[in-house]
Amino acid sequence: MLTTYLIIMLIGQYTHDLDPKKRLTLPSKWRSDLGKKVVVTNGLDTSLFIFPIKEWQIVAQRLSQSGFGNKDTRDFNRFILGNAFETDVDAAGRIVIPETLKAFAKLSNKVVLAGMHSRVEIWDEDAWKNITTKVNGEADALASKLSELGII
């Protein structure tokens, strides 16, 4: 069986406004990779994740194949799959962030969209500044750990 992988490259960061109708404009550079329909769900570290629909199908399949005998697996599936919303990208390149996800990520009017290769993370601007300050201070130690694992 031939496995086909979606090759996209979502990188960089962009600051955008979340309008009063909870609409968020996606960076024009990413729109062709994201497509006309995306999935928005809870992310980690109080962020949200946006997946192109084809990437989401891969993620959802992997999670659903993880079994339901383990409580941690069930809980993580509830966290990611149970909070996922499929949404259309409108003609202006905007998506609507559901209120439950906006509340989960504590989003204010200013948000940062950060490309993470095959997904986008959405952060409240202040939370993004805090997490990047922390990560920047730990970059050398993180690189050492990843090197020990053979990742870099």
Domain chopping of the chain, boundaries: 10-125
Options 3.40.630.30, 3.60.130.10, 3.90.480.20, 3.40.1550.20; CATH of 10-125: 3.40.1550.20
Tell if the pTM clears 0.95, that is, is over it: no
Other Cβ atoms closer than 10 A to 113: 22
Spatial CA neighbour of 127 closest among 53, 37, 24, 43: 43
Question: Which strand (E) or helix (H) includes residue 72?
Answer: helix 71-80
Task: Return the structure tokens found at 79.
Answer: 């966290």
What is the C-alpha separation between 58 and 52, in angstroms, rounded? 10
What is the C-alpha separation between 96 and 60, in angstroms, rounded? 21
Per-residue pLDDT tens, the chain, 152 aa: give them: 455 555 778 999 999 999 999 999 999 999 999 999 999 999 999 999 999 999 999 999 998 888 778 899 999 999 999 999 999 999 999 999 999 999 999 999 999 999 999 999 999 999 999 999 999 999 999 999 999 999 88
Cβ–Cβ < 8 Å for 152, 146: yes
Spatial CA neighbour of 114 closest among 61, 60, 55, 50: 50
What is the C-alpha separation between 53 and 40, in angstroms, rounded? 10
pLDDT at 6: 56
Q: How far apart are the first and last CA of the chain?
A: 30
